[in-house]
Amino acid sequence: MGILNPCYLKRRARKWWPYIVVLVFLIIGYYKGLFSQLSSYSSDSYEEEPRAILKEVFSLKRQVKLMRSVIKRYSIPETEYSDVLLPTIYVISPTYARPHQKAELTRLKNVFLHIPALHWILVEDASHKSQLVSDFLKLSDITFTHLHHSTPDDWKLKDKMRETQTVSVWPVGLVGGVMVERPQVSIDDQTKSHVTGWLTGWKPNRPFATDMAGFAVNLSFLLKKSKAEFSLTSKIGYLESDFLEKLITMDQLEPKAKLCTKVYVWHTRTEKPNMKDEERLRNAGKPTDEGIEV
């Protein structure tokens, strides 16, 4: 009850009034400075800027809150935290065992690491998953799916050159002034085919009008032909033809590259290819690359 005594209150007030006065001055000074600061932002040059900044901050806070809720709801891996709002890119890469396999996979991985929201599907051409690829993917820091499946034997690419029994031939692109010099192949039935000549722009009447890059010879077959050699007396452009004449006849040639319908060999230089004879043959209605991609 003593604390409510008027005399007691007066004594307390006389004791604390200097502090109260100082506190009031401090409060007035604080608000005076605040009001002056706010008045400075009322000018046209500063009025809109703080509002725009605050609006952007509040927008970012809402986005962060939304991202955290999505991460929690769908248990998204930590590696994808920054990309939850992006559509995922799925990259499918076939691969097979070879000495430089890991080097090429590493090069791909280093590219994919720069791409947000990417899922790498790696398919091994094998009967089972290899330990090399499994370990590589686990340490890749990329979201991945590891699969395997062997390519059927009848789908596998066949060698062009390796199975040569005597002399094999194929087209050569960008040579002799034309888009492609190529053997002309006749197909008697589904199992028998033979070379009947060459479609070429330069000296088409040569017995074997082929380029040096357009044929391969089986070594065992060559060693049986003691007279076969490249002659220094051959006319310009006839070196290949003279050599093949000592080895084989036209009907014994083995057409490769899908019966000479595919180009796997090109003559390339650091200059524009000369197409003068191609233009001449096109004007005559005989384009060398008709029906074949060079």
| Element (DSSP H or E) covering residue 216 | strand 215-217
User: Are 240 and 211 contacting, i.e. CB atoms less than 8 angstroms apart?
Assistant: yes
Query: What's the CA gap between 105 and 115, in Å, rounded?
Result: 16
Buried b (16+ CB within 10 A) or exposed e, 178-211: bbbbbbebeeeeeeebbbeebbbbeeeebebbbb
Query: What's the CA gap between 69 and 57, in Å, rounded?
Result: 19
Alpha-carbon distance values, 143 to 117, 124, 256, 283 (Å): 9, 17, 43, 56
Q: Which residues are catalytic?
A: 240
> What is the residue type of 106?
T
Query: What's the CA gap between 251 and 186, in Å, rounded?
Result: 10
